[in-house]
Amino acid sequence: MEDKDLKKRLDNLAIKIIREPNLAFIGSFLFNLEIELDKSVPTACTNGVYLKVNPDFFYNVLSKEQRFFTIIHELWHIAKLHSLRMEDRDPMLWNMACDFHINWLIQSQCNRRWIVTPDMPKGCLYDEKYADMSEEEIYDELLSHSKEVPANYESDLVKSSKEEQTEAIHKVGSTLQMAKNQGVETAEGYSTFFTEFVKPKLNWRRILRKFCTEQLDKADYTWRRPNRRYPKVYMPSLDYSDTGTLTHLMYFLDVSGSISDDDIKLFNSEIKAIKENLNPDKLTLVQFDTKICRIDVFTKDMPFSNIEVVAGGGTSYEDVRNLILQEKPTAAIIFTDLCCSPMQEVRKIPVMWVTRYTDRQYRENPLFGKILEIKD
């Protein structure tokens, strides 16, 4: 079959998607997109600007229902700005997380009446345990459990350039506005998602977790097998089959009178998530004010919960520094309002200072380590 005939069939498929009542919103992305035929891609792929499909795979391997599913899948990659949100994550693992998210999203809608019911192609990633989880949450889950990339898995996300990212955001924004103007109901929460993305706030949770994952003891780089799309190019990548563990994480919680109960609950919930996701061999929670008030130690098999917070008075880092030097942890996180004299430098131990207060008169910035400021 000639390319022009294949293109005509592809256009007809796009029209069916646009006319499908269940796909009124996601189908509207086809108005700002041209689907390209490209035999150099293994299956299908997108960078947020273009959508390419391999005609041999698309028409000789997939059924009509599977072709329907595949285009919807790629449109969700575009709508969710997955190529842009990849950032500095492992590309293959991020792609897997996005696929788990999208495939569950599509499958959860298949109990409705469709003109053409989508059929998920064999080998696609799907797991009910990722239901209602964000792509970032699934990625963290895959990373923490050293999830291996399936041998036959083909990536369909292409990292975009800065110029392409700008174009992708413009396409999504204009599509969203067009859908609203035509009275098309957007996917639940999508408008908020897009608004938050183009006007981002500091994702302090991700920064905090990234700091922790950077301290993994056995992380190493390996040479992954070449991608079929670029058969002569070998790229170094993090070997997730041997990422190891976080040996000893110390978490210092300032319980002085200037720290609110809500702040303490907030940070305890986040450190609980770090414990559950990264599960260090040893997690030491230290409460302090002018002195060390309480120490709780959690081993790998112990849950992090029901912590009794000791109320305190002023703030001093002297005992905190002494304990860090004594224990020599893999890394230390210190939650504090920084309203006291700075700690003298601690060498060779990664330290992150986490503070929610940026406008206090008596604040003293740390002399070393990384600073993570949380703004409401």
Q: What is the number of other CB atoms lying within 10 angstroms of the CB of residue 189? A: 9
**Given the structure tokens 């599960």, which residue do they identify?**
279
Chosen CATH of 241-373 out of 3.30.2350.10, 3.40.50.410, 1.10.1670.40, 3.40.50.300: 3.40.50.410
- The domain limits of the chain are 3-200, 241-373
**Given the structure tokens 């905090």, which residue do they identify?**
208
- Per the DSSP assignment, residues forming a β-bridge with 335 are 253, 354
> Structure tokens of 227?
């991608």
Alpha-carbon torsion, ordered 126, 130, 133, 137, to 10 deg: -100
| CB contact at 8 A, 280 and 243 | no
Tell me the whole-structure pTM to 2 decimals: 0.56
Predicted confidence pLDDT, tens digits, the chain (376 residues): 556 777 777 778 878 887 877 788 888 888 888 788 999 999 999 999 999 999 999 989 999 889 989 999 999 999 999 999 988 889 999 999 999 999 998 888 766 666 566 788 988 999 999 998 999 999 998 988 877 888 888 899 998 888 888 889 888 988 888 888 888 888 778 888 887 777 655 566 677 777 877 776 543 434 344 444 434 343 333 333 334 467 899 999 998 887 777 777 777 777 777 777 778 889 999 999 999 999 999 998 887 765 677 767 788 999 999 999 999 999 999 988 888 899 999 998 999 998 875 555 667 888 999 888 776 5
In which order are the strands placed within the sheet that holds 35-37? 35-37, 51-53, 44-46
Q: How far apart are CA 240 and CA 252, in angstroms?
A: 29
Q: How far apart are CA 99 and CA 118, in angstroms?
A: 15
